Amino acid sequence: MSGPLILGIESSCDETGVGIVRGHQLLANEVASSVDQHARWGGVVPEVASRAHLQAMVPALNRACEKADVSLDEVDAIAVTAGPGLMGALVVGLASAKALAAALNKPLYGVNHLVGHVAVDILEHGPLEQPCGALLVSGGHTNLLRVDDLTSSITEVGSTIDDAAGEAYDKVARLLGLGYPGGPVVDRLAAAGDPRAIAFPRGLTARHDLERHRFDFSFSGLKTAVSRWVETARLEGREVPVADVCASFQEAVCDVLTAKAVDLCDHHGLEHFVIGGGVAANSRLRVLLEERLAERGVTLRRPRPGLCTDNGAMIAVLGAEVVAAGLPPSAPDLGADSGLPISTVLV
């Protein structure tokens, strides 16, 4: 194995992640999730997430070193999520990384959480072909990107103007009484339903919408349409066909995501595409996107589901790319930026 040995720390939301890579080789990826602590509230509670990071950080770090069979002294550099994310959660990860960097006299790199979701596929499929298109889709973000250089040139071509796709999944799951998080359970139930049973709307796909929001997304209207359909059925005394609702809702989300991804590739002449973020683990999205891109001769890169959700490995490999590119380390007084733009890879 060759390349720098990089320790990555991720704490932007409700997963405490510590990953260790050597170049493009994944050595350890330890994740401690606090999702069960948030389930009773139906969503992430920032203060609860911050406390969970405090409790989980050192154990996750110890497990990662043991798994990788390395000592902290052997690490060449430390990469940490500087943003975007929940401010309190980010601060816990940053404080941990700064303490390690100072104690070990190692360079510190504060990197962009969202770019990490693009970089993580390198661990499975090798160097990223560039330029390429990318779709980041999660509970807090839905973005279409053009990636000309992973470490220095990323352009946001489109984003959501209201709810992110993952938020819509959570809200629909709550409406149906399916619990939190909504993505996995809706995906599972959708497999037994009919995606054509209910004609839910496709946001920002009408001709007049495409003129202003060609590559943007909107899922608020879809969520409202599902709510009204379910409420009407209940008022009329009809049984709600949960599997069909899930399948029809999911088809509407995936139809829009994949159609705009294909349009991005057509418009920019891109031959390679990568998907990342928690919703990238969705079974229907992965299949439909691959089918539609293949029809255009575009190659799709999909990290395995376990690498789609937030994790330290994605931060570590992005750190490895930054180090390999010869970029300077971050300043010791590096601060968290909850709204860090995706065009800023290194802080």
Q: Quick one: CA dihedral 51, 57, 63, 64, positive or negative?
A: positive
Confidence check: pLDDT of 283 > 70: yes
pLDDT digits (tens, 9 = 90+) for 124-162: 999 999 999 999 999 889 999 999 999 999 999 999 999
pLDDT digits (tens, 9 = 90+) for 318-340: 999 999 999 999 999 999 999 99
pLDDT of residue 37: 87
Of the pLDDT bands very low, low, confident and very high (cuts 50, 70, 90), residue 178 is very high
The strand pair at 15-22 and 77-83 is best described as unpaired
Q: What is the DSSP letter of 311?
A: -
Strand segments (E) across 70-191? 77-83, 108-112, 132-137, 142-149, 153-159
| Radius of gyration of the chain, Cα coordinates, nearest whole angstrom | 20
pLDDT digits (tens, 9 = 90+) for 34-85: 888 888 777 888 899 999 999 999 999 999 999 999 999 999 999 999 999 9
Of the pLDDT bands very low, low, confident and very high (cuts 50, 70, 90), residue 1 is low
pLDDT digits (tens, 9 = 90+) for 180-216: 999 999 999 999 999 999 999 999 999 999 999 999 9
Tokens of 322: 């930054």
C-alpha 110: how far from chain center: 18
* Rounded (10°) CA dihedral 261, 263, 264, 266: 130
- Separation of alpha carbons 237 and 189, rounded Å: 22
Tokens of 246: 């899930």
- Separation of alpha carbons 312 and 15, rounded Å: 9
Delineate the domains of the chain, giving CATH numbers in brackets. Answer: 5-120+311-324 (3.30.420.40), 130-303 (3.30.420.40)
- Separation of alpha carbons 185 and 68, rounded Å: 33
pLDDT of residue 232: 98
Of the pLDDT bands very low, low, confident and very high (cuts 50, 70, 90), residue 309 is very high
